[in-house]
Amino acid sequence: MKRKSGTKIFILLFLAITVIYPLAEMLFLVEWNNFGSLVTSKNFLESLTNSIFVTAIATVISIIIAYLLAFTLNRTNIKYRAILKVLLTLPMLIPSISHGLGLINLFGVNGIISKQFGFNIIGSTGIILGSILYSFPVAFLMLDDGFNYIDNSMYDTAKVLGLNKWQTFKKVTMCYLKKPLLSTVFAVFTLIFTDYGVPLAVGGKFLTLPVFLYKEVIGLLDFSKGTMIGLFLLIPAFVSFLFDNFTKDYTSSTVSKEYKVTQNKKRDIILTAFVYLVLGFIMVLLGSFVYYAFINNYTLDKSFSLTHFNYVFANGIGNYIFNSLLISILVAIIGTIISYSTAYVTARIKGKGSKIVHIFAILSLAIPGIVLGLSYTIGFKNSFIYNTFAILVLVNIIHFFASPYLMAYNALQKVNINFEAVAKTCNISLFKLVKDIIIPCTKKTIREMLSYFFVNSMITISAVTFLFNVDTMPLALLINNYEGTMMLGEAAIVSLVILFFNLIMKGIVYFINRVEHRRGELNEFN
């Protein structure tokens, strides 16, 4: 009992030091007497209005696209669902600033498409389009998961009661999807509102709140003003956090019988065409990186060339690749161990403190990356980990902690609750029980946790933008440097390198899961 209590206390201390402490230090730095002048200043009001405007539009469009994609893959006779699901989430494997870069390649002043028609989308239009590209895969995965927890037997009940399609949609589908849909809306709004990668790339003179914060801290080193701006970025994330944790969920707790898709040729053709249209745009965007990487100069000489490759490799891209891989691997391993251990404490060890640990564990959901990075800059500036790989690893673990933790928490709750009692009766140590029984039962979830930490650490910019130095700079931040000097070919190469390593990680996880699935089928057959 003492050991279990000690574990809870250790985890609480770890989360207090890595989450609460830096945020508190950040707040203590604020010069509150300047708060009034900030919130009434022209730049602040303009950036706040701009952020709300583009975020609202992009969120609505992103949710509509995501819902149609999720509906198509779950409620139509479309083929190759598994492959399409992977391809539709490819935008999640590159940094948000890369989406802006891709749009510049296609629709910028000298873009492949815009140059032919004499227009460009730099400004609010570019931010909206880039934000949609950046956020709709997240919304799609959330809604796709929501469809899995609809009680499909209710459709048979609706049919018996004589409800038409619209009534069935309102009374059944939307009843079960209400919370997942609202959660998705909050998540996407927060994701877009707090992102500075896309606006930095394609915003031009259209100032948004995260870019305003970035310029104040990086350009003017005004940490007090940056903190005050950061507080406004916390608002939608905090509202989303409260909603997710204190709203009743009507989804079915177990996966119900398989949904029987009705025959409707017109519906299938239209929605399948829509899916391939979205997928086509994603491929064109990624294709633009390849195109820019292998031409000499888009405006002057479009001939095949390896000039951009020679430049990035001559300027030490290998060091940045090493930095990112080192950070991402350490984040994946250490982050998975800590988040899994925390989930075991909250999901399997009931008693005093478990609820508090759970709340602390998911608190990072309410902290945007750029705010967390700023708080670490202020909180750990004079510590021994500042300007080292350690702080980059730590900030990434906390930034992405909540989602892997919830993966493990949900998986561990599904494991037989009597294992600990049986182990205690048989005098089997807790360590041996976890190693030999619990971990094998949740190994697929553990692999997904490792993948989640790795991929997001490879693509993040916001959380580390204030914390790196010349020796520890991650690869993703090179995109910002190259894009800022209009070296689009070099920036495209960096985006492709990040995509390459993330695809390798995803491929490894997929291959292992596939092999295990087939092995399980063979064992059942034998």
Instruction: Give domain limits for the chain.
Output: 2-24+54-300+312-520
Q: Residue 83 corresponds to which tokens in the numbers above?
A: 């492959």
How far apart are alpha carbons 95 and 233 in whole angstroms?
A: 20
* pLDDT value at 102 more than 80: yes
Beta bridge partners of 295: 304
pLDDT of residue 261: 75
Higher pLDDT residue, 392 or 121? 392
In this prediction, residues 331-356 reach a mean pLDDT of 88
Higher pLDDT residue, 195 or 350? 195
Neighbours of 255 (CB within 10 A): 11
Contacts of 127 (CB under 8 A, 6+ apart): 54, 58, 198, 199, 202, 203, 206, 208
DSSP codes joined into one string, 7-22: HHHHHHHHHIIIIIHH
Contacts of 243 (CB under 8 A, 6+ apart): 182, 183, 186
CA nearest neighbour of 468 among 520, 395, 523: 395
* pLDDT value at 242 more than 60: yes
Mean pLDDT of the chain: 87
- The residue type found at 91 is P
Q: Which CATH number fits domain 2-24+54-300+312-520: 1.20.810.10, 1.10.3720.10, 3.40.50.150, 3.50.50.60?
A: 1.10.3720.10
CA nearest neighbour of 99 among 66, 130, 120: 130
* pLDDT range class, residue 390, cuts 50, 70, 90: very high
Beta bridge partners of 301: 297
* Least confident window among 306-320, 359-373, 398-412: 359-373
Q: What is the pLDDT of residues 149-194, one digit of tens each?
A: 776 667 767 777 777 777 777 777 777 777 778 888 888 998 899 9
In this prediction, residues 395-420 reach a mean pLDDT of 89
Q: What distances in angstroms separate CA 254 from CA 150, 172, 373, one per listed residue?
A: 9, 16, 38
**Residue with token string 């009743």:** 248
* pLDDT value at 68 more than 50: yes
Q: Do 106 and 113 form a contact (C-beta atoms < 8 A)?
A: yes
In this prediction, residues 118-140 reach a mean pLDDT of 91
In this prediction, residues 126-150 reach a mean pLDDT of 89
* Least confident window among 23-27, 283-287, 451-455: 23-27
DSSP codes joined into one string, 316-346: THHHHHHHHHHHHHHHHHHHHHHHHHHHHHH
* Least confident window among 72-81, 97-106, 241-250: 241-250
* pLDDT value at 299 more than 60: yes
Element (H, E) at 82: helix 81-88
How far apart are alpha carbons 457 and 30 in whole angstroms?
A: 29
* pLDDT value at 27 more than 70: yes
DSSP codes joined into one string, 346-371: HHHS-STTHHHHHHHHHGGGGS-HHH
Angle (CA) 299 305 311, round 5°: 90
In this prediction, residues 379-395 reach a mean pLDDT of 94
Of all residues in the chain, the percent with pLDDT exceeding 90 is 47
* Least confident window among 157-171, 209-223, 423-437: 157-171
In this prediction, residues 352-364 reach a mean pLDDT of 82
**What's the per-residue H, E or C state across 451-488?**
HHHHHHHHHCCCCCCCCCCCCCCCCHHHHHHHHHCCCH
How far apart are alpha carbons 324 and 468 in whole angstroms?
A: 11
* pLDDT value at 253 more than 50: no
* pLDDT range class, residue 115, cuts 50, 70, 90: confident
Q: What is the CA radius of gyration of the chain?
A: 24
Q: What distances in angstroms separate CA 492 from CA 94, 131, 292, 453, one per listed residue?
A: 11, 18, 7, 23
pLDDT of residue 236: 83
* pLDDT value at 255 more than 80: no
* pLDDT range class, residue 452, cuts 50, 70, 90: very high
**Residue with token string 């300027």:** 315
CA nearest neighbour of 94 among 463, 475, 499: 499
* pLDDT range class, residue 246, cuts 50, 70, 90: low
* pLDDT range class, residue 283, cuts 50, 70, 90: very high
How far apart are alpha carbons 270 and 277 in whole angstroms?
A: 10
Contacts of 232 (CB under 8 A, 6+ apart): 48, 209
* pLDDT range class, residue 303, cuts 50, 70, 90: confident
Using DSSP, state whether 243 is helix, strand or coil: helix
* pLDDT value at 244 more than 70: no
Q: Residue 449 corresponds to which tokens in the numbers above?
A: 């946790």
In this prediction, residues 434-463 reach a mean pLDDT of 92
How far apart are alpha carbons 484 and 471 in whole angstroms?
A: 21
